[in-house]
A = this chain, B = another copy of it.
Amino acid sequence: MAVYTDVSDEELGAFIDRFNIGTLLSYKGIAEGVENSNYLVHTETGYYILTLYEKRVNPDDLPFFLGLMQHLAGKGLNCPTPLIDRDGQMLGELAGRPAAMVTFLDGMWVRKPQLVHCSELGKGMARMHLAGADFEIKRPNSLSVDGWAPLLDASRDRAHEVKAGLAEELTAELDELQALWPKDLPSGVIHADLFPDNVFYLGKELSGLIDFYFACNDAFAYDVAICINAWCFEPDGMFNVTKARALLEGYRSVRPFSELEFDNLPLLCRGAALRFLLTRLYDWLSVPEGALVVPKDPLEYLRKLRFHRGVSNASAYGLDK
A106-124 with Cβ < 8 A to chain B: 106-112
Contact indicator per residue, chain A 68-86, by CB within 8 Å of chain B (1) or not (0): 0000000000000000000
Contact indicator per residue, chain A 8-41, by CB within 8 Å of chain B (1) or not (0): 1110000000000000111111111000000010
Q: In the complex the two chains form, what is the Cα distance from A292 to B1 in whole Å?
A: 12
The 10 lowest CB-CB distance pairs between A and B, nearest first, are A29-B31, A288-B290, A8-B111, A290-B290, A9-B108, A25-B106, A3-B31, A31-B31, A26-B106, A28-B30
A111/B28 in contact, CB under 8 A: no
Q: Other CB < 8 Å A-B pairs besides A28-B40, A31-B31, A47-B47, 15 of them?
A: A1-B3, A2-B31, A9-B108, A9-B110, A9-B201, A10-B111, A25-B107, A26-B105, A30-B40, A40-B40, A42-B47, A288-B290, A289-B289, A290-B290, A290-B291
A10/B290 in contact, CB under 8 A: no
A202/B25 in contact, CB under 8 A: yes
A30/B27 in contact, CB under 8 A: no
Q: In the complex the two chains form, what is the Cα distance from A30 to B42 in whole Å?
A: 14
Residues of B within 8 A of A107 (CB): 25-26
Q: In the complex the two chains form, what is the Cα distance from A109 to B29 in whole Å?
A: 12
Q: List 30 A-B contacts (CB under 8 A).
A: A1-B2, A1-B3, A2-B31, A6-B111, A8-B110, A8-B111, A8-B112, A9-B109, A9-B111, A9-B201, A10-B111, A10-B112, A24-B108, A25-B107, A26-B106, A26-B107, A26-B108, A28-B30, A28-B32, A30-B30, A30-B40, A31-B31, A40-B40, A42-B106, A288-B290, A288-B292, A289-B289, A290-B290, A291-B291, A292-B292
Residues of B within 8 A of A106 (CB): 25-26, 42
Check: A293 CB closer than 8 A to any chain B CB: yes
B6/A29 in contact, CB under 8 A: no
A27/B290 in contact, CB under 8 A: no
Chain B residue with the shortest CB-CB distance to A289? B290
Chain B residue with the shortest CB-CB distance to A24? B108
